[in-house]
Amino acid sequence: MSSNEARAAAPNPAPLFAALGDHTRLSLLMTLSDGQSRSIAELSADTELTRQAVTKHLRVLENAGLVRCRHVGRESQFAFRSEPIAEITAYLEAVSRRWDDALARLRALVER
């Protein structure tokens, strides 16, 4: 794999992993992953968090590209975006392939 391909697969996945690494954000994302968009009020309804706290978490997800926000009248509607999840998968696959290649070379070395 060329370095250009590697970068295309994973520009920098750390912010994505960081955005996912939180219980509240993960459960918000799970709720939204059915494809239905929801308002902040709807997303706050089944949590013990304040609307402000939920909004803060939604902004983190939005900045990471995991949700998109659309304004409908005075309301903000949030919806799931699957593209970043595909990016993370591609990243881990690239890491995985590199280990396959390295281990094949290790085998050639120790078995010769």
Partner 1 sequence: MTNRIEKTIELKAPIERVWHALTDHEEFGSWFGVKLDGPFAVGEESTGRITYPGFEHVTWEARVTRMEAPRHFAFTWHPYAVDPAVDYSQESPTLVEFELQPTSTGTRLSVVETGFDALPGHRKPDVLRLNDSGWAEQMENIKAHVEQ
Where along the sequence are the contacts to partner 1 (CB under 8 A)?
1-3, 6-7, 10-12, 14, 17-18, 20-21, 23, 26-27, 29-30, 33, 82, 85-86, 88-89, 91-96, 98-100, 102-103, 105-111
CB of 74 to partner 1, least distance (A): 30
CB of 47 to partner 1, least distance (A): 14
**Which tokens is 36 given?**
């239905």
Q: Which is nearer to partner 1, 53 or 102 (CB)?
A: 102
**Residue whose C-alpha is closest to residue 16's, from 86, 76, 68:** 86
Q: Which is nearer to partner 1, 45 or 86 (CB)?
A: 86
Contact 69, 77 (CB under 8 A): yes
Residues in contact with 58: Cβ distance below 8 Å, sequence separation at least 6, in sequence order: 28, 40, 43, 67, 69, 78
The structure tokens 């005075």 sit at 74
Q: Which is nearer to partner 1, 35 or 73 (CB)?
A: 35
Q: Which is nearer to partner 1, 21 or 73 (CB)?
A: 21
Residues in contact with 81: Cβ distance below 8 Å, sequence separation at least 6, in sequence order: 65, 66, 67, 68
CB of 5 to partner 1, least distance (A): 8
